[in-house]
Structure 1
């Protein structure tokens, strides 16, 4: 290699590094701006590392929760500290990625799952509608598109309608969330407001994007929201999960199952002192889950009478 060739090569590498750094900073800025412009900067923080923008929150939104659920799993929303890592240099991969946990996060800090409940979808499942596990069709979601999962953590399985109504920048061009592979999530229409043509969205509910390379969308029909990731995600199996509640004495909690035929009049309420209650009826009987912060930081005192426990009253302290 001649001296002139070495100089040119080094210069090109320097330009490439500068471009990569600029793209990194631009993506970090885009993630931070999506949270700030939506109006959630007071409850959600965004910090960037060499590889990720970390969207951190307590996963507990300031909108109606749980109300309207019929197929309740008898879980309740409990604040949970959560840091969602969004890749800053997204790259499309060869195989869609699925997991039985969050695939991304909304701009209000609430995790986003695929539309199903009951376990991870296989590659074959992606091509077929999972009617039996469809959280929308089985009445497992509240009026805002979310519910509390097996870890008593609130998350979305469909379009986060209540959050979108709260957004200061609500509109077709507003980013409503980010997938872990680094690509943004938009609403039902293209950012310019045009209707997405039938067949334009791929298996993961996304399509090409001139700005970010790729983007995901919500949709009125299944899969409703991101159901898999099209990008590469290093250490995909190590993505964070919300730590479930466990009994203060070291025991665990068992998730309930939707009672046959569903419940009636489910309502979730919260008092200013942190006391919370989910009340509902089933076959003419009243049931409830009531909890309040205990004297131990991060713990809650529970009093429950659930269908899963045969109507027996249970008490206990549970912690993150």
Structure 2
């Protein structure tokens, strides 16, 4: 698929005063990414396709940090004011300085490393032994949001459908999946999600399964917290003016004069959207195209009885996830080395400690082959609670 070339080249750069916003929004995970890195792909148990983004016809929105003592809310207002030339869809994303934003006349392209600024994984009691790893959602593997959404002739509902891949993108660059996992269970209701509504998929890719209402603390209640992949915005539990939400349709959305069609999050199913009001392309059970995540190690199995208690970024390339299993304390520590080797150390309490190293597949190799295990053997695990890992 090729994007049509605009009638004239756009060359606008928007300078954003972020100042203390950068401090209050500083990521707890700081693994950097750059747009010119090689873009590793995998299918995250999906078959994603993504068209190449024509760099000559898109505008890059690049934040500039300036030292200031201004309050965070004032800085947020300045960001919006200084982004007047950006499309309206971009303005909530602009508050997250680690995102790579580009747009052309049809789409906003959102690049990220797939890791949010908030802590992760804490509170999960139904765990598939997956951990957050950086993803290269940049360049031609970036997320894309339609700037001019088109109502569908009939909505595509998400109940028992679109169980693969994302259905929306939060404004911090983290994908939002169907509230149902790939077994059809409601992830939030069976203990699979952390305190922020997310967990990791089979590629160790972090994503939400409910609307991330906590993002309102950054963007404010008057702005969207996410966009469905059909291009329509998703607001929180109230209208932008703070009034109560009324008369939602089956998609969890409605049309309002001056605001247009938009969705609302909810505290019960469907949590995000009930269906796509706008046109989308469905291929093999998911919205297409969308980015691919990169697997580093083979998908693990559920670990019955485990509860995640802590997640730490030791430094920009080393992380540690701690959990309890019965009365025992366990942890997984992992480091991303300069030679692109991922070293995992499993502390299994009285069972001892083991180390494994993995090298991701080079781009272009068979996606059905697991990543290469370089050394070490994982010790036996307790009987899994389910025969099939979740997404």
TM range (shorter): 0.7 to 0.9
Matched, 1:151 2:151: no
1:179 — aligned with what? 228
Q: Which residue does the alignment assign to 1:22?
A: none
Answer with 1 or 2: which has the greater Rg: 1
Where does 1:165-314 land on structure 2 (aligned, <5 Å)? 165=217, 167=218, 169-171=219-221, 173-197=222-246, 200-211=247-258, 213-234=260-281, 237-247=287-297, 253-257=298-302, 259-260=303-304, 262-297=305-340, 299-304=341-346, 313=354
Please state whether the residue corresponding to 1:164 is helix, strand or coil: helix
Work out whether residues 63 and 163 of structure 1, in 8 Å CA contact, stay in contact via their aligned partners in 2.
no
What is the DSSP-based 3-state SS (H/G/I as helix, E as strand, rest coil) of the residue aligned with 2:115?
A: coil
Structure with the larger helix share:
1
Give me the TM-score of the superposition, normalised by structure 1: 0.74
- Residues 1:87 and 2:146 are matched in the alignment: yes
2:133 alignment counterpart: 78
Alignment of 1:15-54 (within 5 A): 29-36=87-94, 39-40=95-96, 42-54=97-109
SS of the equivalent of 1:271 reads strand
In structure 1, stretches of 5+ residues that fail to align are 1-16, 18-24, 120-129, 248-252
Aligned residues: 267
Instruction: Evaluate the alpha carbon distance shift between residue 66 and residue 28 of structure 1 in structure 2; reply closer, same or farther with a 3 A threshold.
Output: same
Partners of 2:233 and 2:136 lie apart in 1 by 22
- Structure 2's unaligned 5+ residue stretches are 1-6, 8-58, 60-83, 362-391
The alignment yields a C-alpha RMSD, in angstroms, of 2.9
Q: 1:227 to 1:280 in 2, by over 3 A?
A: farther
* 1:61 aligns to 2:124 (yes or no): no
Give the SS at the match of 1:192.
coil
Distance 1:204 1:300, change over 3 A: farther
The answer as to whether partners of 2:203 and 2:299 remain within 8 angstroms in 1 is no
Query: Does structure 2 conserve the Cα–Cα contact (< 8 Å) formed by 1:246 and 1:319?
Result: yes
Deviation of 1:220 (Å): 1.1
Tell whether the 8 Å contact from 1:102 to 1:241 is kept in structure 2 after alignment: no
Instruction: Assess if the C-alpha contact under 8 Å between 1:180 and 1:233 holds in 2.
Output: yes
The question of whether the paired residues in 1 share the 8 Å contact of 2:127 and 2:307 is answered with no
User: How much has 1:305 moved relative to structure 2?
Assistant: 5.5
